[in-house]
């Protein structure tokens, strides 16, 4: 295909994927998500006891409740980054699927959050680790039904040269617990057996830009406050699973345009309207 040859030629010339995407967009029908105006991202988790989960995120983490109904609740993490809690009973899931996902809550107040988590008796999977010479610090807590919450702070480091200016431009959003217990963004960590095809999918199919390369983990910016992170299951704190109790939704201003584009370009004959799956089987909505 001409597009594949163009990408190979671009790589031979040393062009980054973003530059190749721009040239293809100017000279072909190729489009990425950004062309349809990404306005935010929602991470969707499913719970057996929705009321208990809502209380946890509203009261123990102090997140702002944006909207709710009998089967779901939407919380703001920061800016255009949101966490949606849904009832398993009102979904197509059994609730036994693996939680092959983690949510990084980005904050520069790790010590305050760690003290708060301990005070609230929230289970901790990995205790607070800090290394002034490292690329990032953090700790990992567990929510009421086993989803992993990574409280994380990134540092000035060679692998964060693109990421840090992006993060430093964000305004921390206070939770109702206090101004020092705040977040300014999130990373949705997804877990894979084979990373290289997924890296290609993110840059060449979705047109997302790489913000940080940790070797076994890659971080892509989706919107102002939201990132997607790909993790090699061999090194990550979760494992790949065929069936998973998680979905991701992109808030697109021109969702109809992206749907029409997928109709013309997708090779997945089983794709359901306004959704697509990545190579690891994660379901994305828009």
Q: Which two tokens stand for residue 173?
A: 């959003």
Same-domain status, 10 and 96: no
CB 107 within 8 A of CB 183: yes
Q: Are 3 and 142 part of one and the same domain?
A: no
Q: Do both 109 and 229 map to the same domain?
A: yes
pLDDT at 159: 96
One domain, residues 254 and 114: yes
Judge if 22 and 146 occupy the same domain: no
Confidence at residue 13, expressed as pLDDT on a 0 to 100 scale: 78
Confidence (pLDDT) at 22: 78
CA distance 277 to 247: 10
Using the structure block, give the residue that is written with the tokens 């299951």. 233
d(C-alpha 102, C-alpha 92), whole Å: 21
Same domain, 228 and 193: yes
pTM over 0.95: no
In tens digits, the chain (286 residues) has pLDDT values of 667 777 877 687 777 787 887 777 778 888 999 999 999 999 999 999 999 999 999 999 999 999 999 999 999 999 999 999 999 999 999 999 999 999 999 999 999 999 999 999 999 999 999 999 999 999 999 999 999 999 999 999 999 999 999 999 999 999 999 999 999 999 999 999 999 999 999 999 999 999 999 999 999 999 999 999 999 999 999 999 999 999 999 999 999 999 999 999 888 889 999 999 999 999 999 9
Provide the CATH number for the domain around residue 234. 3.10.180.10
pLDDT at res. 18: 79
Query: DSSP label at 268?
Result: -
- Clarify whether residues 180 and 270 are in a common domain: yes
19 and 113 together in one domain: no
The pLDDT of residue 2: 67
97 shares its domain with 23: no
Q: What pLDDT is attached to residue 31?
A: 93
Pair 68, 17 in one domain: no
Q: How many domains does the chain have?
A: 2
Name the residue range of residue 4's domain: 1-30
Task: Specify whether 49 is located in the same domain as 2.
Answer: no
38-47 and 81-87 beta bridge pairing: parallel
The DSSP string of 160-196 is GTTHHHHHHTSPPEEETTEEEEEE-EEEEEEEES-HH
**Residue 183 and residue 203 in one domain:** yes
Residue with tokens 């994927």: 17
């Amino acid at each position: 295909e001409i597009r594949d040859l163009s990408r190979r030629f671009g790589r031979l010339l040393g062009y980054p994927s973003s530059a190749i995407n721009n040239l293809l967009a100017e000279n072909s029908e190729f489009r990425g998500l950004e062309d349809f105006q990404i306005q935010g991202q929602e991470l969707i988790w499913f719970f057996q006891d929705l009321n208990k989960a809502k209380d946890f995120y509203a009261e123990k983490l102090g997140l702002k409740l944006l909207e709710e109904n009998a089967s779901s609740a939407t919380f703001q993490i920061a800016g255009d980054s949101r966490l949606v809690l849904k009832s398993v009973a009102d979904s197509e899931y059994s609730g036994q699927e693996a939680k092959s996902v983690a949510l990084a809550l980005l904050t520069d107040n790790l010590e305050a959050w760690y003290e708060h988590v301990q005070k609230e008796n929230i289970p901790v999977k990995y205790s607070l680790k800090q290394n002034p010479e490292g690329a990032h610090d953090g700790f990992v807590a567990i929510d009421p039904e086993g989803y992993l919450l990574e409280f994380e702070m990134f540092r000035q480091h060679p692998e964060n040269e693109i990421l840090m200016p992006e993060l430093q431009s964000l305004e921390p959003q206070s939770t109702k617990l206090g101004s020092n217990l705040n977040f300014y963004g999130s990373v949705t960590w997804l877990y894979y057996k084979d990373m290289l095809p997924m890296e290609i999918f993110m840059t060449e199919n979705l047109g997302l830009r790489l913000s940080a390369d940790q070797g076994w983990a890659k971080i892509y910016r989706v919107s102002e406050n939201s990132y997607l992170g790909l993790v090699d299951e061999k090194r990550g704190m979760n494992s790949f699973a065929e069936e998973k109790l998680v979905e991701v939704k992109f808030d697109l201003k021109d969702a109809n345009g992206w749907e029409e584009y997928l109709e013309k370009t997708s090779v997945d004959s089983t794709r359901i309207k306004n959704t697509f799956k990545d190579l690891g089987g994660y379901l994305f909505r828009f």
